[in-house]
Chain A
Amino acid sequence: MPMTSLQRRRRVMPGFGLSMGIALTYFALIVLLPLVAMAIKTASLGWEDYWKIVTAPRSLASFRITLTAALAATVVNAVVGLLFAWVLTRYRFPGRRLLDALVDLPFALPTAVAGLTLVTLFAPNGWFGRYLEPLGIKVAYAPLGIMAAMFFTSIPFVVRTVQPVLEDLSADVEEAARSLGARPWQVFALVIWPVILPAFLAGTTMAFARSIGEFGAVVFIAGNLPMVTEITSLLIFIRLDEFNYPAAAALASVLLLVAFLLLFLTNSLQARVLRHARRD
């Protein structure tokens, strides 16, 4: 197993105790403890009630709407994010600094402002909506709007995870490949892609995870019709307003589980990619 030699070599590095200590303590206090509190709330439901809540038609519809929109938003984000990161690190052109600065805008804006801005743009009388609606493209108060809001609020993820890796990638290898006669797309596919893949995967999963939890931006533009444009976060919000904590926790636990499984999957994938890269 190649792992053991790696492991032995790595054990030489100092600071394991210190870094693990900080990481675990902080993580336990800030992240795990509240999650345990939620788990206890959820556990106050019996298994039967839990199942009834999460498989109710309205819940299932909200899962379907949320996950479909998040998936679509993430695919768009993956392409656009990669494009932004590539252009920002590889080329010098007027407006590059501005573009670099603008990428973080979706995080800096409170989600409610983002939602309000998007719905103003896409409403039938908005800057975009007045041209889209005559074409029969309905964004505001439609499933497409949910996707637009999710896309907007998670734009920075892919860009900001891929960007440092691209920045770090030394040009020597690329030039060597090019001087050996590789075409640009070959350089990208064979030299660059394997290196940025782990960061790219991390970025897209984060974007997806963020999208399924998004609330503030989506409720402004979604229309919130039950079974059609009602996302799971809104359903959770409704249950909280009814003081029905266990039901809210049950719905939240489903989103968490989906996100966690997905994160675990991509992280395993990432580890495999990395091992391949190292073996070469």
Chain B
Amino acid sequence: MPAATDGLGARLLIAAALLIALVTLVVPLALIFASAFAEGWAAYVANIMQPDTLHAVFLTVLTAVIVVPVNMVFGIATAWAVARYDFPGRKLMISLIEIPFSVSPIVAGTIYLFLYGQQGLLGPTLQSWGVQVMFSVPAIVLVSLFVTAPFVARELIPLMQAQGSEDEEAALSLGASPWQTFRLVTLPNIRWALLYGAVLTNARAMGEFGAVSVVSGSIRGQTNTLPLQIELLFNDFNVVGAFAAASTLALIAVATLVLKFLLERHAQ
């Protein structure tokens, strides 16, 4: 429930938030679009419509489409296990889940090389079976899963712990099946946190650069994601093209937020 906004304190807080947002978020975004449109609409469209850039958009969206649902399932399962039960190693598990956040993206990519590369632990065995994971789309999906694994779980755990399990217990005692309880009681209770988690996962999966750059092989038109394509354009002195490509990522982010807004409306 929103409180009244007429108090002086409230106005000061809102003003402070808007001012900070202006400096830290709006101005950088404005700079990106200003740079993207520095040579006008026609150049902007031409830059976006480049086949390599379009393929990069496709690959980036494809990655997100796979990564988001998978990590949602993982996140719900983990949060359920951690928030609803006590078991030995529970605290350790909560901490371990967050490890991918603290791993430098470059290192995240490199540890996948240690695992699936030709000099790695599993790479040679997989190669002998004719399976190549590195420098292909599966590798990009795998590291994206890694870097975004904690988001949903980390959104859900504090919320589910704060909520407790009384609602579910009530439903169960009234004869609801476990699945019904989950769908009709748990899911509505956690929907906002789940949504925020999914939105963050999506944003990060699309924007990830360091980890993907290590494992993708950067073959243009094949394994270049949008962030890699942006670097390529930057290295071509095509600053306008680079920012144009970056602006599409910003637009996709805004689009997911519009989607969230619509879902919110629908829920009300």
A-side interface residues toward B, CB under 8 Å? Answer: 3, 6-7, 9-16, 18-23, 26-27, 30-35, 37-38, 40-41, 80, 83-84, 86-93, 95, 97, 99-114, 116-118, 120-121, 127-128, 151-152, 155-156, 160-161, 163-165, 167-168, 171, 184, 195, 198-199, 202, 205-206, 209-210, 212-216, 232-233, 236-237, 240, 245, 248, 252, 255-256, 258-260, 263-264, 267-268, 270-271, 274, 277-278
Bound-state CA distance A166–B33 (Å) is: 33
- Distance A38 CA – B18 CA, assembled complex (angstroms): 44
Q: Which of B14, B102, B181, B242 contacts A93 (CB 8 A)?
A: B14
Q: Is B131 an interface residue when CB atoms closer than 8 A count as contact?
A: no
Question: Given A107-B204, A117-B28, are A35 and B155 neighbors across the interface (CB < 8 Å)?
Answer: no
Which residues from chain A contact B96 at a C-beta distance below 8 Å? 27, 31-32, 260
Asked if B98 and A27 make an inter-chain contact with CB atoms under 8 angstroms apart, the answer reads no
- Asked whether A267 lies within 8 Å of B158 as measured between CB atoms, the reply is no
Shortest CB distance A196–B (Å)? 9
The secondary structure that dominates the A interface is helix
Contact of A171 (CB < 8 Å), options: B1, B196, B208: B1
20 A-B Cβ contacts within 8 A?
A3-B86, A10-B84, A14-B178, A20-B85, A22-B74, A30-B145, A34-B115, A97-B261, A104-B253, A107-B207, A108-B252, A111-B207, A113-B32, A120-B31, A168-B163, A171-B3, A199-B159, A210-B102, A213-B104, A215-B104
Which of B98, B146, B253 has the largest count of A CB atoms less than 10 A from its CB? B98
Residues of B within 8 A of A9 (CB): 165, 169
Other-chain residue from A15, A33, A152 in contact with B24 (beta carbon distance below 8 A) = A152
- The chain B residue with its CB closest to the CB of A231 is B104
Contact size class for B? 35 or more
* Smallest beta-carbon distance A96→chain B, Å: 9
Instruction: List chain B positions with a Cβ less than 8 A from chain A.
Output: 1-3, 5, 7, 9-10, 13-14, 16-18, 20-21, 24-29, 31-32, 35, 73-74, 76-78, 80-82, 84-87, 91-108, 110-112, 114-115, 120-121, 142, 145-146, 149-150, 154-155, 157-159, 161-165, 168-169, 172, 178, 181-182, 192-193, 196, 199-200, 203-204, 206-210, 226-227, 230-231, 234, 242-243, 246, 249-250, 252-254, 256-258, 261
How many A-B contacts are there with CB distance less than 8 Å?
Answer: 323
Q: Tell me how far the C-beta of A142 lies from the nearest C-beta in chain B, rounded to whole angstroms.
A: 18
Tell me which of A11, A248, A270 contacts B158 (CB under 8 A).
A270
Residues in A whose Cβ lies below 8 Å from that of B81: 16, 19-20, 23
Assess the B99–A110 pair: CB atoms within 8 A. no
Closest chain A CB from B27 CB (angstroms): 7
Q: How far is the CA of A187 from the CA of B121 in the complex (A)?
A: 56
